[in-house]
Amino acid sequence: MTDSTYVLITAARNEAFYIEATIKAVLAQSLLPERWVIVSDNSEDETDDIVKKYSASHGFILFITTKKGGGTANFASKVHALNMGIAALRDIHYDFIGILDADITFDPNYYETIITNFHRNSEIGIAGGFVYEKQKVIFESRPFNTTRSVAGGIQLFRRACYDSIGGFVPLRFGGEDWYCEIMAQMKGWEVRAFDHIKVFHHKSGSLKRGKNKECFRQGCMDYDLAIHPVFEILKCIGRMHGKPVVLNGLIRLAGFFCSYFSNRKRLVSKEFIAYHQTQQAKRLLSVFSIKKCPPR
């Protein structure tokens, strides 16, 4: 295919258990990337050795590391690592740029299929598949998968879209993927996840951090991304069915309102805040609007 060159960036921290499977999944692709930059974010396990082994025998894999001790203990460190990878692509021609987490696998035609869908619709700015995670012994679709949003670990950007949004913002509590989607939509691009294309996620970061801490972090993230308080309350109520019942939603609300009442400065622009909250208001109106009675 013409105009189908793509590059990948992976920020990896202590991913020795999974990253080799991810590397093998990329090497098996029917359409290989022009360059794959894997940034070790101060890994302390065998991640670096595994990546070095493959980069030595595959010229399109570039391995770089952050400075020892330079990592930060929050989600912004991932963005700093990604930005290091992007900086290493200055001299490479590409039409698409993808983020790939180090614990993902997919079928050999994954990227070729996604790029084909980009060509079918010139309005798509960000695309990807549906994420499946292991539930006991089988992989099942994540509960909150939607065709309107692409999981951050597999986002593939049309380069024109990525350039228009200005890249990632290093948010302390995460949400850089969500930020990019909102910015893309603000710039007039479509975001599309294809439910017939499966992506397998082999690890859950939320389990590693603990459910309560993860819920609190998500509330802090929602504040950073300018969720309106009313929208946040309704969203958390809608998620109170998760075990333990009610508690997850309350903890997420606590994270949000701790940030809200502390008036913590947001890193997103006023334009972003206005657009995002306007879209939320439209969604609320569409849900709660009452049809007018027909004229008599």
Rounded average pLDDT over 7-35: 96
68-83 average pLDDT score: 73
- Measured distance CA(211)–CA(215) in Å, rounded: 6
Percent of the chain with pLDDT over 70: 89
What's the pLDDT score for residue 137? 84
Residue 293, pLDDT > 80, answer no
Distance of CA 78 to the CA centre of its chain: 11
Q: Over the stretch 140-163, which tens digit does the pLDDT of each residue have?
A: 998 889 999 999 999 999 999 999
Across the chain, mean pLDDT equals 90
Q: Which domains does the chain have, with CATH numbers?
A: 6-203 (3.90.550.10), 209-287 (no CATH)
Question: Residue 179 contacts by C-beta under 8 Å, 6 or more apart in sequence?
Answer: 168, 169, 171, 225, 268, 272
Choice among 64-68, 140-144, 250-254 with the minimum mean pLDDT: 64-68
State the pLDDT at residue 135.
85
> Are residues 187 and 158 in contact, defined by beta-carbon separation less than 8 angstroms?
no
pLDDT digits (tens, 9 = 90+) for 199-231: 999 985 555 567 889 999 999 999 999 999 999
**Is residue 288 over pLDDT 90?**
no
The band of 71, judged by pLDDT with boundaries at 50, 70 and 90, is very low
Angstrom distance (rounded) from CA 79 to CA 94: 21
Query: What is the pLDDT at residue 136?
Result: 81
pLDDT score at 240: 67
| pLDDT attached to residue 225 | 95
The token duo for 250 is: 């309350």
The pLDDT of residue 244:
61
